[in-house]
Structure 1
């Protein structure tokens, strides 16, 4: 249960049956007042929020309809077995234990009422009937018709926070950007100018693990992690727009100019390399409900392919073809990135 995210009160969501793709609804007018409706047709009566239990109901939750203000129940004593009432959590059968799914049902939840020892089900064989059956040991969490997905309301991303101390460089390999040979065809030592300009593509994405699930395409502003002097950093001044749930690419261009000395009838080969690796950095999204301004969070891992630390290796090639004295040169390079701060 510790890994299952419980949304704050006044964060609204729909409960969509795993087997039926139907969302529960609760309304004061119309017949029926409670039931399940195709999820692709979003009803205003299909939004719910949680009410946290206290005292002997600590760890349990009432599920309240936003439009109706009524709470759900699951009982055995009379029909209907599952429905809603106006008592605002007065009865024990209004209080649910949220049992998270695992494996194929990870991120979903079973709705269990301990006082009546029942679990709510929504079956494909009768998709409009919301009912229950006995929550026997080994039964809850075993069958697909017990599971509901939480489809959250629209959220605004206020900011993103990276846990840089837990960031990892999970791969690091040299990548050759350019190789150039300069020839001195005179009898005198010559100083020549080495110039290089090469571009690489950086890709990144936000992988969700826990919390409020967001729709693909939600945008946010801010920098993304990069490597500087072997440390993972973030440009906090960046106002670039990011898109959640989609892989994004930027082009980073390395430019460098520096002199090289070549002896008579000799050559100098310059090979330019960068470190290329994959970064994993945990993040927390600080969210806000568009309708109520209630704050919430979402957690995951930012993963990106990045390059850093441009170096140049110089090799002297003598007139007889022998090579000697490999020298590594570090030059202050001009880095530019489309859509990113140059330091990245």
Structure 2
């Protein structure tokens, strides 16, 4: 499975956001250096900004630069003018969305897809197709789409309203796999039920060829599968980094967020400042001996860092180990005095705590 990053398009559609072209280009460059296979950089028909961003990134990125287009000629022409590598045509296929979002029939929608895909090819770009609300669409209609567009290299199934859990999504994909080569299927997922990252991993396990992801889950409503979570979970669970440079993951994601002016919640998985910080006396004492005791992964493997914090909560075992590292006595009396000093001067990180022990007791 390869990753298509949608941060630049999905994030820009969040309420109150309007990323500048320069910010999107800078973020796109960071994603390209990280090694994602595709960057969905914008929706060109919405304005000149996205045309500029897509053109600049397409000219310099190794990743495929993707433009989004509805299945209408104006959208496709705008995407072609932007010189995108891939034009991702999208439209609904579920009864709900066809009736209430577009007021059209499935047959008419397929005819629009036909015309849009032909127009993409005639313009020299590669067409992809996204089936909106695919996971609430009858399987027979999905099979019809895969058969009708057998020459489209990637058909993405969108869980547009975030209605699936890993079990139901896997059931849908396994049923499709009886008739469809899932390596040419992608998934576009939303986190409305808090399942987006888990759903992306379930899709990988089912054999899906592509998953859309976004840095820190930036995207409409609850967002999309978090790029950083999918990669770290992929490495931990499957030994699979999905083609990105795992050791650069955290710095690259932080660079993207910095470029876009987005903050990182301190408790955000993988990226948050407090996620790899440990202060509990039981935890820090064990982690001084072996960090894996209370970590699912080494943050350094992904360009992050752990921080052990010592202060009022530090226990005797941890204090004794810190004194030992400083070459200081580790008798009970020294430990007791050192714990008082840690409580007074903490919280300190490991280096600071060892230096205190060395300065005062060694």
Q: Same fold (TM over 0.5)?
A: no
Query: Which has the higher Rg, Structure 1 or Structure 2?
Result: 1
Structure with the bigger RCO (C-alpha within 8 Å, sep 6+) is 1
**Which one has the bigger strand percentage?**
1
Compute the TM-score of the two structures, normalised by the length of structure 1. Answer: 0.27
Compute the TM-score of the two structures, normalised by the length of structure 2. Answer: 0.26
**Which one has the bigger helix percentage?**
2
